[in-house]
Amino acid sequence: MNKFICIFINIVLCLNIFSQNKGKNLILNYQTCTEEGKAIVTPTELNPAKTAILIIDMWNSHWCMTASERVSAMVPRMNAVLQVARELGMQVIWNPSDVVTAYSGYPQYERAIAVISRTKPMIRETPPTKFTAHGGPCLCGPGFKCGGNYGWDGMHPDLVIGDNDLISASTDETYSLLSDRGITNLIYMGVHTNICVYGKPGGLSDMWQAGFNCALARDLNDAFTMYDPLKPYTPDEGTTEINENLQKAGIPNVNMGDEFKRLGLLKSSSTIDYVRFVPWGKPDRPYFTDSETTVTLTAPWLEGVEIRYTTDGSEPTAKSPRYTEPLKISTTTTVRAMAFRKGKPVSLPSFAYYVKMPSEIPPKPDVYLDNLEFIPNAYNERVKNSMWMPVIAQSFEGKPLRVAGKTYQHGMGFRAPTSVQYDLKPEYKRFVACAGIDENMLADNNGRFIAINSSVVFKIFIDGKMAAESPVMRISQEPWRFDVAIPEGSRRINLICMDAGSRNILDYGNWVDAGFIVCKNFILRTGSPCRTNR
Ligand SMILES: [Zn+2]
């Protein structure tokens, strides 16, 4: 058939589906449950013109790396569902709370704040809801506590914000936008269900009180819970538990992706889910493991699938090892995973990155860098103060050296990208140091909006050859451990603090407790420093 006729038919088909659905009522299966947990399904008729989707938070970064990745994991499904909702004529409203002003100048935000704001009425109480899921310091699991910084400055970059969407800043504003449009039904999405989706301005509790028919998208929310690999208890189970808590209180859940597929509004073959990992690091924010980490894989919205994975960097196929129980990771590893049904991939490919830390905390040096003179590169030496000279025994900003909750007396404060060299003496046998992002920025409102930006890589070169390097370091990460043998006859060591891709002026990297292990009589037993302070 002629290619143009084909395209024409496609457009007609497309327009047909669109016009068939636009404005038509649809029936979604809402679900609540009894106190005993028995599901009660209630087919609920919705007029799209009187229905809005409200999305809470969905930030680009979180205090916890696993929480951040779980937000990313929701994005394809959310984009697909929102696209259908818009075509049906539903209003999409984003309530990104802390980062709402990041949308200043966006028409979706300016239109929203132009509303004549009225006080949200109190029509009824929110049904008493008891959240029973367990919580931990973060979602990563035992022995780990992701830094408490405000790691966000916007919403997830892959989320599609539609031209006719609104970005709202407060309860009253959201209420006024909804009532001006005659909207009576709300479907909530976002994070974290038991805290912000429920309680933030414009959240479920507020709008329930204002009398709206509120439901929660079961497949597009995430609760703040925990990971216990021994039970095992995953954030997916915690989220299910929180969603059931709401159902028991009479607040219905609805699986939007599956309902749209059932109604033929979303292609049943469309892949909109990732296999999820817990804990979940990525190369730009790795999960550091000291000894062994138990990694659990889940695919909560894909029924009857086999999860297949690889640890050799290759993309999983239907023949890759099948995931049957949590993986034990004790080396630096990329795990890739994909879900298959009858040999066909039914998920998007996803991966996680784990970094094994050097097991030993390096010994304290005999000679601290603070007491040595560094050598800048020849150009810097000539013109002075070109680029960024390190600061001795202080952070680059002249504050105490602070890394991952600890203050250090000795060290050097760098701002990436920069490097300096030191002359090596024959008695210097090893270079030892810890290195991490300077944390002073957390003193100002916990690093709100800025702590997301710092990322560096530390490297050590000896006479032009790389001797060691760190992974990408982010704020509050455990400092990287360096203990490097210095080959006999070496001339100079170069300490480098590199930008890790953001080229940001907040890339402050500290070398702490850094310097040389000395062995004056050159007796060096293989593999161990000739003297340590331990
Ligand atoms: Zn975490």
Give CA separation, 514 vs 73, 196, 456, in Å: 39, 43, 17
What spacing in Å lies between the alpha carbon of 490 and ligand 1's midpoint?
Answer: 41
What spacing in Å lies between the alpha carbon of 227 and ligand 1's midpoint?
Answer: 9
Rounded CA-CA distance 186/130 in Å is: 21
pLDDT at res. 530: 52
What spacing in Å lies between the alpha carbon of 313 and ligand 1's midpoint?
Answer: 24
What is the identity of the amino acid at 522? F
Calculate mean pLDDT across residues 372-380: 86
For residue 196, the 8-state DSSP code is I
Neighbour-count burial for 471-498, b at 16+ CB within 10 Å, e otherwise:
bbbbbbbbbbbbbbbbeeeeeebbbbbb
235 has a pLDDT exceeding 50: yes
What spacing in Å lies between the alpha carbon of 64 and ligand 1's midpoint?
Answer: 4
Q: What is the mean pLDDT of the chain?
A: 92
What spacing in Å lies between the alpha carbon of 359 and ligand 1's midpoint?
Answer: 21
Least confident of 10-19, 64-73, 300-309, 380-389: 10-19
pLDDT at res. 398: 96
pLDDT at res. 57: 96
533 has a pLDDT exceeding 60: no
Calculate mean pLDDT across residues 293-317: 97
- Which residues are CB-neighbours of 14 under 8 A, at least 6 positions away? none
What spacing in Å lies between the alpha carbon of 180 and ligand 1's midpoint?
Answer: 41
What spacing in Å lies between the alpha carbon of 66 and ligand 1's midpoint?
Answer: 5
Calculate mean pLDDT across residues 158-179: 97
What spacing in Å lies between the alpha carbon of 475 and ligand 1's midpoint?
Answer: 13
What spacing in Å lies between the alpha carbon of 207 and ligand 1's midpoint?
Answer: 31
396 has a pLDDT exceeding 70: yes
Rounded CA-CA distance 311/371 in Å is: 45
What spacing in Å lies between the alpha carbon of 84 and ligand 1's midpoint?
Answer: 33
Decide if 256 contacts 219 (C-beta within 8 A): yes
What spacing in Å lies between the alpha carbon of 472 and ligand 1's midpoint?
Answer: 16
pLDDT at res. 93: 98
What spacing in Å lies between the alpha carbon of 347 and ligand 1's midpoint?
Answer: 24
For residue 182, the 8-state DSSP code is T
What spacing in Å lies between the alpha carbon of 385 and ligand 1's midpoint?
Answer: 39
Decide if 434 contacts 361 (C-beta within 8 A): yes
Calculate mean pLDDT across residues 124-146: 91
Dihedral pair phi/psi, residue 104, rounded to 5°: -55, 130
| Other beta carbons less than 10 A from residue 530's beta carbon | 17
What is the identity of the amino acid at 107? P
What spacing in Å lies between the alpha carbon of 70 and ligand 1's midpoint?
Answer: 11
What spacing in Å lies between the alpha carbon of 137 and ligand 1's midpoint?
Answer: 7
Calculate mean pLDDT across residues 98-105: 96
Rounded CA-CA distance 374/422 in Å is: 5
Calculate mean pLDDT across residues 101-130: 96
Query: Where does the pLDDT of residue 8 fall: very low under 50, low under 70, confident under 90, or very high at 90 and above?
Result: very low
Rounded CA-CA distance 411/458 in Å is: 14
What spacing in Å lies between the alpha carbon of 63 and ligand 1's midpoint?
Answer: 7
Beta bridge partners of 214: 186
pLDDT in tens, 183-195: 999 999 999 999 9
What spacing in Å lies between the alpha carbon of 352 and ligand 1's midpoint?
Answer: 13
What spacing in Å lies between the alpha carbon of 220 and ligand 1's midpoint?
Answer: 20
pLDDT in tens, 457-475: 999 999 999 999 999 999 9
What spacing in Å lies between the alpha carbon of 279 and ligand 1's midpoint?
Answer: 7
Rounded CA-CA distance 472/507 in Å is: 11
pLDDT in tens, 399-440: 999 999 999 999 999 999 999 999 999 999 999 999 999 999
377 has a pLDDT exceeding 90: no
353 has a pLDDT exceeding 70: yes
Give CA separation, 382 vs 74, 308, 377, 378, in Å: 53, 58, 9, 6
What spacing in Å lies between the alpha carbon of 104 and ligand 1's midpoint?
Answer: 30
pLDDT in tens, 318-351: 999 999 999 999 999 999 999 999 999 999 999 9
pLDDT in tens, 13-43: 444 444 556 668 999 999 999 999 999 999 9
Decide if 236 contacts 279 (C-beta within 8 A): no
Calculate mean pLDDT across residues 391-402: 96
What is the identity of the amino acid at 211? G
Using alpha carbons, select from 362, 355, 364 the residue that is nearest to residue 290.
Answer: 355
pLDDT at res. 528: 52
What spacing in Å lies between the alpha carbon of 145 and ligand 1's midpoint?
Answer: 6
Joined together, the tokens standing for residue 334 give 């990329």
* Sign of the C-alpha dihedral computed for residues 30, 34, 39 and 40 taken in this order: negative
What spacing in Å lies between the alpha carbon of 517 and ligand 1's midpoint?
Answer: 35
Rounded CA-CA distance 202/176 in Å is: 11
Calculate mean pLDDT across residues 52-73: 96
The alpha helices in 347-488, defined as continuous H runs, are 378-383
pLDDT at res. 384: 67
For residue 506, the 8-state DSSP code is T
Instruction: List, as ranges, residues with CB under 5 A of the ion ligand 1.
Output: 64, 66, 138, 140, 146
pLDDT at res. 12: 42
65-88 vs 3-21: helix crossing angle, rounded to 10:
90
What spacing in Å lies between the alpha carbon of 370 and ligand 1's midpoint?
Answer: 34
What spacing in Å lies between the alpha carbon of 420 and ligand 1's midpoint?
Answer: 34
- By percentage, how much of the chain surpasses pLDDT 90? 83
- Which residues are CB-neighbours of 289 under 8 A, at least 6 positions away? 329, 330, 354, 355, 356, 357
What spacing in Å lies between the alpha carbon of 241 and ligand 1's midpoint?
Answer: 20
Rounded CA-CA distance 96/201 in Å is: 10
pLDDT at res. 15: 45
pLDDT at res. 106: 98
Instruction: Report the run of H or E that residue 220 belongs to, with start and end.
Output: strand 213-222
DSSP string, 260-290: HHHTTSS-TT----B-EEES--BTTBPEEES
